Structure 1
Amino acid sequence: MNEMSEELAGILDLPKIELHTHYEGAAPPAFIRGLAQEKNVDISKVFNADGSYAFKDFVHFLSVYEAATTVLKSPEDFKRLGLAILEEAASNGVIYMESFISPDFCGGGDVDAWRDYLAAMEEAATEAERDFGITSRGIVTCIRHFGPEQAKTAALCAAETAGGFITGFGMGGDENQGNQRDFAYSYDMAREAGLKLTTHAGEWRGPQEVRDAVNDLRVERIGHGVRAAEDAALVDELAEKGVVLEVCPGSNVVLGVYPDWKSHPIDVLRRAGVKVTVSTDDPPFFHTNMRNEYLNLANTFGWDAEVFTEIAKASANAAFCDEDTRTQILKKLEA
C-alpha cells in the first residue's frame, strides 16, 4: 500500500456523524423485499432486475419510496428496520446519526399509534447503541406534498413526544409544492415544544427557497441548501448567521441536481465560511454510504483528514441532541 492509499484509508476509517438520513429511505432493498415476501405483498415494480431500487427522477423516486414503505406495517417492522440501518451506518464508522421519521408512515398520524411505533424505534436505538456503538436520535418530519393541514398532525405527534429520542422537527417531500411559510403553524408548534428545527430547501428550488426557510420558519439547519451557492449575498448571510447545511453530495449527483461531483458546490460553500455537514440522505437508493461519500469528497476536492475532522466536529456541534450526548460524541472524535 503506498503512502497516498494509506492516507485515504485513514480518512475512510475516521469516526463520522450523519445528520440527514430518512429512516425508511435507508432501508436496504433486501430488507424491503424480505418483508414483502413475509407479508405476501407484490412490490416488484419498486426494484430493478439487479434488486436495487428503480426510479427515473426525483418525483418518481418519491413514489417508489412511498411504495416501498407500504410493507412497513407495524412497530415491530420499524424496530427491525432501525436495527438494520443503524448496523449498516455503524459499519461505515458512523458514531452518531439523526434520522427523519414521519408519523404519516408510522400509524398514519394518529398520536397513540405513533407512540407505539416510536417506542419500537427507541428500542432499536438502545439496542444498536449497546451492540454497534452508534448513538441515534429522531427528527419528526412532515411531508411537504401532503400539505400544510397534514403537517399539523405530524407536528402534534412531535410535540406530544418531544424529548429523549425525539429532538427535532423537519420537513421533507416535494420541494416544488407550496411554500415554506405555508408550514409556519406546524413549526411554531414544534418550536414551543422545545424541538430543534430543520427543513429541506435549496435542492430543487433556488436560493430564495433557502432564504425563505431561514426567514419564514426560523430554522437553524437546512436540509441540502446547496442552491444557496448561486447567491453570494445569501452565502455570506448563512455564514454570518451560522446556519448549518445538511449536505448530501451523492444524492445530489444521482438525482441530477448537479451533473457530477466536480460541479457540486460543497467545497465552495465550505471555503466561504458556511457550516456544511456530510450525509447520505437515502443511501441504498443512491448507491452510497458514508465511506463512499468521504471517498468521493477526498478524491474530488482533495480534502484531508483535518478537513473531515473539522466537518465532523461541526456536525457534532450542530446535532439536535442534549449537551451530555454532544460531549460524549466530541470526546470520541478527539480520540
Structure 2
Amino acid sequence: MKKIAIYGLGRIGRQLLRIGLDRDIFVPSAVADVKDLKTLTALFSVDTNYGHWKGKAASNDNGFVLNDHEIAYVDSAAGVPDWGALGVDLVVDCSGRATKREGAQAHLDKGAKYVLVSAPSKSLTDCDAVLLKGINLDHFDAEKHHIVSMGSCTTNALAAPIKVIRETFGIEYGLFSTVHSYTNSQSLTDQPMKDRRDSWAAAENIIPSSSGAAKALQFIWSDLKVTGKAYRVPTRTGSIAELNLITTRPCTVEEVNEAFRKAAQGELHGVLDVLEEEWSSARIVGDTHSALMDLPLTFKQGDLLSIASWYDNEWGFSNRLAEVTQFIASKI
C-alpha cells in the first residue's frame, strides 16, 4: 500500500480528507499544516458549508484519530516535512503554494516520490503534466510525471463540457465568465490588498477577478482558443461558468443538450451531469460532479452557442482530487 500525505489542511485539504475517509478512497498516513492540531481537528469535525462530519474526530499526542484511523500530524511551520523518513510516496499539496516548480519540487527533495498539486500550475514548466479525471488522466506516466497539477475547480468545470463540444461539434473560439463564491484570498473587510479589487469586503461586493482556468485548459488542449474571467460573489460555496462558443460544425440546442446527456451516462459519468429543470446555486452545494450542465440555459444566437456549467467549487473539485489521488497511488 502506497503511503499518501496531505500537505495543507485548509478548505480543500479538509474536504479531501473527509471524502477520502467517507468514500473509502484512501487514508493518509500523515497530514501536515502550520496550525495547531486541536483547532484543525475542530475545523475538520464541523464545517460551515458541509456540516458535522458523520464520523468521530479526535486527536492525541501524535495526531488525528478519525474513527479507527490514527493519522500522524506534522507541524510544517518550519518547512516541508521529511517525507522520506515518514515513508511517504505521494504528497497531495493543498497549500496553494506549489503552483511553481520549486514549491512542488520541495516535496520531492524531502523524499516524496510524487506530488499532486490541487491548483493550476503557473506554466507547463512548473509541472510534469496537467491531468484531469474524465479528460486525460489515462496519459499519466509514472516514469515521467512526478509533479502533476489537477488545475482548478473552474478548470474541471469547463474541461468536461469543452471535451463534449470539441469532440461532437468542434470549437473555433470562445469566452467564458465564471461567477464564483468568495475565497480565502479575499478580505472580509475593506483593507488594502495585493490585488486592488480584493481590497473590498468579499461578503458585500461583486468582485471581478482573473481566472487561471484558461491557461490550464490550454495546457491540456494547446490549440484551444478559449479565454475568460471570473466574478467573486457573496455566497459561501457553489459557482457557475457560462461558456460562449463558436463551433466548427452547425448544431442545435437539442443536439448540444443530447450530447451532454449522452456523456453524463457514458464516458463522463460521475464527472459531468445534467440538470433538466431550473435551479439556483443551492441545488448544487455538496454535489460531487465537476460540472452540472444547466440544460434550460443552453441557447443559440446565430452561430453563437451559450452553455452553463454549475459546480460546487469545493466539494466537486475535492471529489476529483480524491479520485486522482487514488488513481496515481495505484499506478506508482
When the two structures are superposed, what TM-score results if normalisation uses the length of structure 2?
Answer: 0.34
Higher Rg: 2
**TM-score after normalising by structure 1:** 0.33
